[in-house]
């Protein structure tokens, strides 16, 4: 094995029996037809299961939706790229000349895909338990500091659950206006309660969805003093 790759195996806490598997996992499609895309597919599935299993055990009372949100915080591209940077994965990736020139070894998408490919390669080389061990080591910090599932719900979801819990109708959202050039639009959206007991709130954002979330958050803040806490 290339001494350069020895450092990566030490960081993973796993030594490959077949060094060709690691080499393939580190090879981006820009560098060779014999690349890591199939391993990435396998690693993605493995990582999702290991993280899902971990949060399932950590939160025995959490709902399916809460568990899904918790898992999503760990397996999203940014989180995978952060884990890849912690082990210096970018230093080991084999990229084509174009990707090298453009700094592909620093790009979140390439780092995340490479990490998943490495996990897939570990599974093929050492089996499920080995791959699970690598996943748990890579995400030990995140798994040890999981947030309260309630904090992961977006404002629209929390507002809807609060209103349902108190027997009130669901909110209604309406676009009040749009402004700005096509590449930088700004939306203004209102959030009103269908029972007419509130004048409504207004949110702004670079998309309708973001504006609705802001309006919902403001409605939540307005309802709290009236005795309504987040669901």
* Residues marked as catalytic: 44, 116
- Determine the 3-state secondary structure of 62 from DSSP: coil
DSSP 8-state secondary structure symbol assigned to residue 226: G
200 vs 52, 59, 81, 220, 221, CA distance in Å? Answer: 38, 35, 40, 11, 12
Strand partners, 27: 94
Q: What is the DSSP string of 111-162?
A: HHHHHHHHHHHHHHHH-HHHHHHHHHHHTHHHHHTPPPGGGGS-HHHHHHHH
Can you state the percent helix, strand and coil of the chain, rounding each to 5?
Answer: 60, 10, 25
Residues 6+ away with beta carbon under 8 Å from 35: 24, 27, 28, 29
20 vs 2, 24, 84, 123, CA distance in Å? Answer: 11, 6, 20, 14
């Amino acid at each position: 094995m290339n001494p350069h790759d020895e450092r990566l195996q030490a960081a993973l806490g796993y030594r490959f029996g077949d060094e060709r598997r690691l080499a393939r996992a580190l090879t981006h499609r820009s560098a060779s037809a014999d690349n890591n895309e199939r391993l990435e597919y396998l690693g993605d599935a493995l990582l999702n299961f290991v993280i899902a299993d971990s949060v399932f055990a950590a939160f025995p009372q959490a709902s399916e939706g809460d568990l899904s949100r918790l898992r999503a915080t760990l397996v999203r591209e940014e989180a995978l790229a952060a884990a890849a940077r912690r082990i210096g994965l970018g230093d080991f990736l084999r990229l084509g000349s174009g990707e090298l020139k453009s700094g592909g070894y620093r790009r979140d998408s390439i780092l995340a895909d490479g990490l998943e490919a490495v996990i897939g390669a570990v599974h093929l080389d050492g089996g499920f338990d080995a791959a699970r061990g690598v996943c748990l080591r890579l995400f030990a910090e995140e798994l040890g500091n999981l947030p309260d599932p309630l904090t992961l719900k977006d404002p629209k979801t929390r507002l809807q659950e609060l209103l349902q819990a108190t027997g009130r109708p669901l909110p209604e959202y309406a676009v009040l206006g749009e402004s700005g050039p096509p590449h930088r639009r700004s939306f203004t959206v209102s959030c009103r309660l269908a029972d007419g007991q509130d004048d409504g709130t207004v949110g702004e954002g670079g998309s309708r969805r973001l504006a609705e979330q802001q309006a919902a958050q403001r409605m939540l803040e307005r309802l709290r003093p009236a005795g309504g806490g987040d669901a």
